[in-house]
Amino acid sequence: MKIYHAANTRSVRILWLFEELGLPYEVERFTLGDPTMRSPEYRRIHPMGRVPALQDGDVTIYESGAIVQYVLAKYGNGRLVPAVSSPEFPTYLQWLHYAEGMLMPQVNVIVVETRFLPPDKRNPENLARATKLLTRMLEPVNAALAGREYLAGEFSGADIMTGHACVISAKLGADLSDKPNVAAYVERLKARPALQKAFAT
């Protein structure tokens, strides 16, 4: 399988997943802004010219959450997903999707306003609003982690999705001073060898 990847993007999640599962993979690396990501050839793989994308034989799939679900369903052999009969299964689904539904939209605004836009185009109000919302949206994560190490009991795909968003939120300066469970969770995830390898790839 081939993973299309750029450092410091959502494609880290896919490398992390493969490392946790011990699945073999090939990496096609880009740097953000690389013109080849906008080429007709790459747009046939990902029509928006972004990462991640995964090629698995005749299957091409993009969107990090969809890739995580696909890989776990096809190659996970029950790993990193609670059984459907488990009371943790709906919790798993919620946190699998919370990252993109709640956290990453705010992360996107912060990254654009602090890194992608030139200083004269930045909007301090947009940045302040997104930072405030991101901090607020981490509150349910903090509550969910009370008395547990991971979001759905054992480490799972939900931690790869929402956990990665928490790690990035912390890097971007989200206020975790009143969220000790999230702060400890971020450190726990960063200590996992599979995530360390994904960040280094």
pLDDT digits (tens, 9 = 90+) for 36-92: 999 999 999 999 999 999 999 999 999 999 999 999 999 999 999 999 999 999 999
> What is the pLDDT averaged over residues 126-155?
97
pLDDT of residue 91: 98
Lookup result for tokens 């740097």:
31
Could you tell me which of 91, 95, 88, 70 has the C-alpha nearest to residue 14?
A: 70
The SS3 of residue 156 is coil
The dotted CATH code for 89-192 is 1.20.1050.10
Residue 82: how many other CB atoms lie within 10 Å: 20
pLDDT, tens digit, 9 for 90 and up, residues 17-31: 999 999 999 999 999
Q: Say yes or no: do domains 2-75 and 89-192 share a fold.
A: no
Q: Which CATH architecture has domain 2-75?
A: 3-Layer(aba) Sandwich (3.40)
Q: Are strands 53-56 and 2-6 parallel, antiparallel or unpaired?
A: antiparallel
167: Cβ contacts below 8 Å, ≥ 6 apart = 186, 189, 190, 195
Confidence tier at 32 by pLDDT (50, 70, 90): confident
**Which segment of 97-101, 112-116, 137-141, 152-156 scores lowest on mean pLDDT?**
112-116
Angle between helices 64-75 and 89-98 (to 10 degrees): 150
Single pTM value for the model: 0.96
The ranges assigned to domains in the chain are 2-75, 89-192
